[in-house]
Amino acid sequence: MKKHLACYLALGCCLLVAVSGATTKLPVTTTPESKTSTVPPTTVPTKPTPSTTTSTTTTTTTTTTTTTTSTTPTPPTTPPPPTTTAPPSPPVPKPDPQKYVANISDHNLIIAKMAMQINITYENVDSKMNVSRQINIPSDNRTTAFGSNSSLNDEVLQLTWKSAGTGNNSVLLHFKKDAKTYALTGVEVMVQPQELPHSKYNESVTFAFNKEAYNTTLGNSYRCIRLQTFNLTKTDESTVMAQLSVYDMQFQAFKSDDQTSFGYANDCQFDTPDVVPIAVGCVLAGLVVIVLGAYLITRKRTARGYHSM
Ligand SMILES: *[C@@H]1O[C@H](CO)[C@@H](O)[C@H](O)[C@H]1NC(C)=O
Ligand SMILES: *[C@@H]1O[C@H](CO)[C@@H](O)[C@H](O)[C@H]1NC(C)=O
Ligand SMILES: *[C@@H]1O[C@H](CO)[C@@H](O)[C@H](O)[C@H]1NC(C)=O
Ligand SMILES: *[C@@H]1O[C@H](CO)[C@@H](O)[C@H](O)[C@H]1NC(C)=O
Ligand SMILES: *[C@@H]1O[C@H](CO)[C@@H](O)[C@H](O)[C@H]1NC(C)=O
Ligand SMILES: *[C@@H]1O[C@H](CO)[C@@H](O)[C@H](O)[C@H]1NC(C)=O
Ligand SMILES: *[C@@H]1O[C@H](CO)[C@@H](O)[C@H](O)[C@H]1NC(C)=O
Ligand SMILES: *[C@@H]1O[C@H](CO)[C@@H](O)[C@H](O)[C@H]1NC(C)=O
Ligand SMILES: *[C@@H]1O[C@H](CO)[C@@H](O)[C@H](O)[C@H]1NC(C)=O
């Protein structure tokens, strides 16, 4: 009976490890839907998406069309209901992922595939209410990718799309590398004031997130199918918030083989740093229980043996 108990305890520990492994969080916040730790087998990393934008040259596309590239269908002039502080605009459906290729220099590419949604909360100066606005990236089929580096060890992927007003909006992903690894070091979102109707802003607004994440071996790509969220703050004003949601993400920076397909994918699913100490603790606890059980059983048997004498 005691042996069985030990077995059950060990089994329980294993279950605990499994459960904690499934729920362990990344350095960056993940949503509750991350509990389903199964990777859909349909997403093949190396499969090139049909909508690939390359940015080797400054090709001036026919952007002279009069169609406004408004990202949300909601008319911005609607006054928010007076009962709530942050009136919920109807949620904008998330966009489909797009693949981007940016040429930094000879034998140095950044490739990325993802879909993003930015949720910016700001004060409407007319109603004095906090409103939120969702912007999708790619906003349409005209989001383009640019790459640049200011030194050998850092580089930037810039996704740019035309604003509903004048100028461009953009998202910048900063990467740095050392001898064997590279990582994302920060994210910046820049939007034109026309994207934030009835705000106090009259020039482009920048939101930033500066924290290292997604440390990856050089030559490999980093993939995260579950939703990743970043809390961004306006660089000079801590009260204005934006949340960047990234869906179906895969990227590779400092890519030197001139191929536009992703290298071996490091999956965020296996970034479970808490599992190891928990597993070790459980194994030790299981051993203690087994040894104790064995000791008790032998003692009982020995005691019985003495009685029969
Ligand atoms: C946008 O952010 C605000 C404030 O954090 C929140 O109330 C709102 O629900 C968010 N909207 C969406 C669609 O995520
Ligand atoms: C990237 O740009 C360099 C020049 O900066 C060029 O020599 C190279 O062919 C380009 N690579 C690709 C894949 O376009
Ligand atoms: C809007 O949000 C900011 C930051 O959370 C807060 O300080 C401010 O009081 C809010 N304004 C209103 C009108 O709710
Ligand atoms: C973008 O999509 C529109 C229709 O949605 C199409 O008319 C246009 O040709 C596309 N532009 C490019 C550059 O693919
Ligand atoms: C950008 O990186 C390339 C090598 O990938 C290097 O030759 C070049 O000097 C870098 N540019 C700057 C400004 O450091
Ligand atoms: C906006 O982006 C386009 C490419 O998408 C570029 O040609 C243009 O120069 C940019 N405009 C500004 C004002 O940066
Ligand atoms: C990635 O992590 C390793 C080990 O913690 C560290 O040595 C390396 O500097 C990190 N890489 C980057 C680019 O920060
Ligand atoms: C924006 O508004 C401020 C005052 O609110 C003014 O000082 C500044 O010149 C304006 N900037 C532009 C580009 O209009
Ligand atoms: C991001 O902001 C939301 C709402 O303000 C908060 O619940 C969440 O904990 C924040 N996440 C991080 C990583 O700071």
Top pLDDT among 76 and 123 is at 123
Q: What is the pLDDT of residue 274?
A: 56
For the cut 50, the answer to whether the pLDDT of residue 258 exceeds it is yes
Do the strands 52-54 and 98-105 form a parallel or antiparallel pair, or are they unpaired? parallel
Ligand lying nearest the CA atom of residue 266:
7
- 197-237 pLDDT, tens digit per residue, is 999 999 999 999 999 999 999 999 999 999 999 999 987 77
By residue count, the chain amounts to 309
29 lines ligand 9 (CB under 6 A): yes
Summarised one tens digit per residue, pLDDT across range 138-194 is 877 588 999 999 999 999 999 999 988 788 999 999 999 999 999 999 999 999 999
**Residues facing residue 173 across a β-bridge:** 157, 187
In this structure, the residue with its CA closest to atom 14 of ligand 8 is 202
| pLDDT above 60 (res 30) | no
Q: 2-23 and 275-308 helices cross at what angle (nearest 10)?
A: 180
Nearest CA to ligand 6 atom 6: 60
Alpha carbon 223 to its chain centroid, in Å, reads 9
- pLDDT of res. 57: 37
* Segment among 60-69, 125-134, 168-177 with least mean pLDDT: 60-69
Quick one: pLDDT band at residue 285, thresholds 50, 70, 90? confident
Tell me the pLDDT tens digit for each residue of 86-98. Answer: 555 667 788 899 9
Among 202, 204, 236, 237, residue to substitute to test ligand 8 (most atoms within 8 Å of Cβ): 202
Q: What's the pLDDT score for residue 93?
A: 85
The pLDDT of 287-305, averaged and rounded, is 78
- pLDDT at site 297: 80
CA angle 93, 53, 94 (to 5 degrees): 5
pLDDT at residue 71 greater than cutoff 70 = no
Of 52, 53, 55, 56, which is best to mutate to test ligand 2, by the most ligand atoms within 8 angstroms of its C-beta?
Answer: 56
> Measured from the CB, is residue 177 less than 6 Å from ligand 7?
yes
Residue 255: is its pLDDT beyond 90? Answer: yes
Q: Which residue has the higher pLDDT, 128 or 25?
A: 128
Task: List the one residue out of 224, 223, 242, 222 whose CA is nearest residue 232.
Answer: 242
pLDDT of residue 305: 59
Residue from 160, 130, 87, 125 nearest 242 by CA: 130
Q: CB of 239 closer than 6 A to ligand 3? A: yes
Whole-angstrom distance, CA of residue 252 vs CA of residue 275: 26
